Structure 1
């Protein structure tokens, strides 16, 4: 018999990799898979949150944190044990891993966490600031190697995921009917065949079900208004899946 009721958590990691090693997003997905292997446990997609790029901030390539939601009967200590063991096993030797875990049922000042995440996209934050906020809010925050600088991004990633309109969904959107070249679909068909929640324009507008979109190549989704959205942009009166420059906003 399982102990404890199902609860929802946010888990975020940062600064686990080095050039030529396994990426932080892949490690986040592996932790999610380990937790979802427990009976009744379910994990969501991983979101990639871009943080401030500055000479004072050490990072491997893009300075981004990786976050996902889990619903499980596991306790905080058990979730943390799984995550920490995997971080210690898979993080690069030169990395500075950080781990943040938030109980989504807890009554905390969510806006304070969101504000920290938004600030970390535009300014240099410190470890003492991160630890101070985590302690005040009751968020589990810990470092697991190197300087532990990754705790800043891990805490910021929680806030950005909570904010609900930040981050790219890791991986590609898979569309069953998409062949080589380009193909036209209705928004309704895209939603039905991919499982995304909406199709979103690069200016933040949702397309109606009857609208047509012309898709080709890699399809990428973003997190907007707490939804998984396929991002599109207009070209000569046609909606097309977003290019790299459009995705950079997220």
Structure 2
């Protein structure tokens, strides 16, 4: 069974971000033998004066391959959020078994709206109840349920967000082929920002830290079009902030 899980708004200005908490929860569940867990994706939501958030208003999503019932995940992660979330935070949790087409459409629509509209808890709960999926709040105002539900939709949409973590695969300025880079589990695809594929034989100049984004539902390394020597360069950290 595949589950999609999102947590949002677990931190405050003094604590580590939600990504750290999600990563720690995945380590604990792995140690419990509950299954295997995907890379964690970060999804940027609408930044607006009417929306309370800690620093960036982003949610964290991962998938689980597991034989453990969704109800057990809900019980464990609810307690985890209530124990480990930072004081003053407004944690939300959403858990969705691999959804059917119409559920996907509804979740994606909500996620895309959350990138440009001020949405409410009532709207989030109404949709979750209609779709029959787990959505719960675990402290504070519980406003994190909006981002938790939206994050699932954005991960399903497949072309939003950056994956957590930086990869150190060589010295800055080193040149590797696209095929060599694709041999790493964390890099599923390599493309230009306009979605043009990069063939395995193409040469890429890397930086000392590489980050992937979610494109076409895959962990994708973005590179610039080739220079006059036929070499592509990875996008810099600042250039990735728009994803």
User: TM-score band, normalised by the shorter chain?
Assistant: over 0.9
Equivalent residue, structure 2, for 1:207: 198
Give the whole-Å Cα distance in 2 for the aligned partners of 1:195 and 1:98. Answer: 27
User: Any conservation in 1 of the 2:188–2:219 contact (CA below 8 Å)?
Assistant: yes
Matched, 1:246 2:239: yes
Give the whole-Å Cα distance in 2 for the aligned partners of 1:223 and 1:189. Answer: 20
> What displacement does 1:30 show?
1.5
> What displacement does 1:200 show?
1.7
> What displacement does 1:38 show?
3.3
Please list every run of 5 or more consecutive structure 2 residues that lacks an aligned counterpart in the other structure. none
User: Any conservation in 2 of the 1:15–1:59 contact (CA below 8 Å)?
Assistant: yes
Match of 1:218 among 196, 209, 212: 209
Number of positions where the alignment pairs a residue of Structure 1 with one of Structure 2 = 241
With 38-47 and 158-167 compared, the bigger mean Cα shift is at 38-47
> What displacement does 1:235 show?
7.4
Give runs of aligned pairs for residues 126-145 of structure 1, distance below 5 A. Answer: 126-145=120-139
Give the whole-Å Cα distance in 1 for the aligned partners of 2:96 and 2:25. Answer: 15
Match of 1:168 among 162, 168, 171: 162
**When the two structures are superposed, what TM-score results if normalisation uses the length of structure 2?**
0.94
Give the whole-Å Cα distance in 1 for the aligned partners of 2:10 and 2:34. Answer: 28
Please list every run of 5 or more consecutive structure 1 residues that lacks an aligned counterpart in the other structure. 1-6
User: Any conservation in 2 of the 1:34–1:82 contact (CA below 8 Å)?
Assistant: no
User: Any conservation in 1 of the 2:2–2:66 contact (CA below 8 Å)?
Assistant: yes
> What displacement does 1:196 show?
1.1
Give the whole-Å Cα distance in 1 for the aligned partners of 2:213 and 2:100. Answer: 26
Q: Deviations over 1:84-128 (max 9, x none)?
A: 122112111110000000011567521011000011011111100
Give the whole-Å Cα distance in 1 for the aligned partners of 2:23 and 2:180. Answer: 27
> What is the SS of the residue equivalent to 1:223?
strand
Give the whole-Å Cα distance in 1 for the aligned partners of 2:16 and 2:82. Answer: 13
Q: Deviations over 1:229-249 (max 9, x none)?
A: 112224744421212343123
Give the whole-Å Cα distance in 2 for the aligned partners of 1:77 and 1:221. Answer: 32
> What displacement does 1:216 show?
1.4
**When the two structures are superposed, what TM-score results if normalisation uses the length of structure 1?**
0.91
